[in-house]
Structure 1
Amino acid sequence: MNLINEKITHKVFGEGNIVDHDDSIITIDFNKEIKKFVYPDAFGRFITLNDRNTANSLKEILMKREMEEEALERKREEEKERRALEQQRRKKLKTHKIHESSQIVFWLDEEEQQHVFSGWQVSTGKVQSGKHEGQPNRASRLGPNSAGLLTAREADQPETKRRILGLYMVNETFSGNLTNDGMVPSHAEFRIELTDQEAKKMLFWNYYINKNYPHRTTWNSGKYRYFDNVCIAQILIDIIALKTDEEQIKRAENFLEYFCQMNALDKDSIPEANGALKH
Structure 2
Amino acid sequence: MNLIDKKVTHKRFGMGNIVKHNETSIEIHFETEKKKFVFPDVFEKHLKIHDPSVADSLEKIIQEKEMARKEEESKKEEERKLQRKKQELRMEHEKLMQNHKLHPESQMVFWCDTEEKNSVFSEWSVFSGEIKSGNNKGKPNKPIRLHQNSAVLLTAVDSDMPEKDRRILGVYMVNEEFIGKLCDDGNVPAHSKFRLQLTEQESDQMLFWKYYINEKSPQKMTWNTGKYRYFDNIWMAQILLDIISLKSDPKERELAQQFFEHFCKMNQIVPQELPKPNGALMRN
**TM-score range relative to shorter protein:** 0.5 to 0.7
**Where does structure 1 differ by over 2 angstroms across 4 or more consecutive aligned residues?**
none
Which residue of structure 2 aligns with residue 185 of structure 1?
189
Which residue of structure 1 aligns with residue 72 of structure 2?
none
Give the alignment of 1:201-216 within 5 angstroms. 201-216=205-220
1:199 equivalent among 199, 203, 206: 203
Aligned residues with identical type, % of pairs? 54
- Match of 2:108, SS? strand
- Match of 1:110, SS? coil
Which residue of structure 2 aligns with residue 171 of structure 1?
175
Which residue of structure 1 aligns with residue 235 of structure 2?
231
CA distance in 2, matches of 1:195, 1:218: 25
Which residue of structure 2 aligns with residue 137 of structure 1?
141
- Match of 1:156, SS? coil
Give 1:258 deviation, angstroms.
0.3
CA distance in 2, matches of 1:243, 1:269: 23
Aligned residues: 185
Root-mean-square deviation over aligned CA pairs: 1.0
**Per-residue CA distance 1:85-108 (angstroms, 9 max, x = gap):** xxxxxxxxxx96100000000001
Give 1:184 deviation, angstroms.
0.3
Residue 127, structure 1, aligned to residue 131, structure 2: yes
2:279 equivalent among 272, 275, 278: 275
- Match of 2:105, SS? coil
Q: TM-score, normalised by structure 2?
A: 0.64
Q: TM-score, normalised by structure 1?
A: 0.65
Residue 266, structure 1, aligned to residue 270, structure 2: yes
Which residue of structure 2 aligns with residue 23 of structure 1?
none
- Match of 2:181, SS? coil
Unaligned runs of 5+ in 1: 1-94
Higher gyration radius (CA): 2
CA distance in 1, matches of 2:118, 2:217: 33
**Per-residue CA distance 1:234-279 (angstroms, 9 max, x = gap):** 0011111111111111100000010001000011211000000000
**Per-residue CA distance 1:49-89 (angstroms, 9 max, x = gap):** xxxxxxxxxxxxxxxxxxxxxxxxxxxxxxxxxxxxxxxxx
Residue 243, structure 1, aligned to residue 272, structure 2: no
Give 1:154 deviation, angstroms.
0.7
